[in-house]
Structure 1
Amino acid sequence: MTLQAFLNYWCSLDWKHQLRHLAQYLLIALLLVLVVPFGMFPEQPLVRLSYWFSVLSIFGMAMMPMTARIIRSTGAFDDFSRWSGIIGCVLFATIPMTFVVHAIEHWGWSLAAARMGNGQLPPSVSRDVAGMMQLFSQLTAINLFAIGVNSFFIIALDGLPTESKKKQLAGIRFLSRLPDHLGADLLYLQMEDHYLRATTASGTGLILIRFRDALNELSDYEGMQVHRSWWVARNAVTRLNKQGRKIELLMKDGSIIPVSAAYRKEVEDQLLGA
């Protein structure tokens, strides 16, 4: 599984995958009840089960998808190798998770104290900086284990990406920048100063990204640059009009896009050759 495939998976979880993950988190939580890691709640297995299942569910259902979207959209880990990128994602997601778990511990102890009285409970958890670092390291170990289990099941049940899956994921990083109402049926791009006007089958909108960076993100997408400030999707071109040395492209939505002399030969080779 590549880093990009890992990010794409966590960015596109549907309810079936979420249910499967919940079942995996329950199994992991049951294992942690038996192992009693870090000496947590040694005499209270039900509390241990509830604690670890809650921690794993919040991490897998909220923190990892949110982190994957941030990393994919910003390209922060583009230069990372597969394993360093995946570990980096887990570490990045565990940072806010540490504060969430600390809040859960404090809130849970306060609620239990109100019902049972302080005398029946262990001392409340009070964490200084060192304590928060310890909690972070503990959660990192558990989260890495959980992600390893998730990845094993992903590969075992879904298999490695096929050619059809790879085709569906082409240009996914750029497409993820598009507002939801535009969909993902990309027709063409036009440069407007520091923005790009992206036109899809559902409409048009401005995106803050350099044209050069957009082309890099669409390198595996079936399209081509046809002008200094225009890019088109190949399947969105309905006709190529030639008037002497001048070439224009007629698009699905009726727009006419110019082809500059610098890109004339490439356009003719790709469109007329096809």
Structure 2
Amino acid sequence: MTDLFTRELKFWDLTFSRVSFDLLTYARVLRHERTLIFISLCLLSFFATDPSGTRAYIPLWFDILLWPTAFMFYLAVYHLLLMAFSAASKRWPNLRAPLPVMGGISLLPTVFACEAAVTWISNGAYGRAILPQMIFFFLAVQALETVFFKFIMPNVRKELQRDSDARHVIVGGERLDLSGLIHVEAREHHVHLTFHDKQLMSRARLGDIVAQTRVEDGVQPHRSWWVARDPAITPERKGGRMILRLRDDTEVPVARTRVNDVQDWLQKHVRNGD
């Protein structure tokens, strides 16, 4: 099921340019602040211009809610189509779909639902039909989507990639950069974090911190310790037990039950693994 959301999907946009993304990336881009501002401005433009001429027939509160509701409906249908396309792409990996077609299919039930809602709320007073305006709405939406896919999405994806590369953890509500972290030690109800240039103490659980890390970020050699990946880590024997000596000369014990796992991790992720 996971590959449904991580599979790279291939499309053509309105300008016949190639576009590709996976559903997970698409969802992350949609939640980004820049995208939300863009969507808000688009909806505000539709509300201000009232292209369907409904404002004189419906209450103001309904008119205000109409556009964001229509967008959410459109987006829901659009996502269902993307999921169906992702499923089809598993069987035909080179399949490429035109985004305008997907947009048009998503727009049709949206416009129909809006027309039914306006007719109902106005008690039939709204005599114009919205469906004949489908071409206008299609072209307007496609123009805005083209701006999104060509100018908004690429920049947001680059920004998200930079954020992903800069690994961090949340400790006590504070965002901490992993790049400067050497080790974390749990002492009773607190954790002590040692960085290259500072030390911090916070009321937190080591397990919650470790859960935010990846295997390549570091290793937990002992229930009370987490060690960040560092080429300066040196495995040693002391008193018949394995320890890890870190760049700040800290000696971190390795639990007997974790010796093999730690050695495997060192071999894979640290150049001088032993």
> Shorter-chain-normalised TM-score: which range?
0.3 to 0.5
Name whichever structure is richer in helix by fraction.
Answer: 1
In terms of fraction of residues, the more strand-rich structure is 2
Bigger-Rg structure (1/2): 2
TM-score, normalised via structure 2 length? 0.44
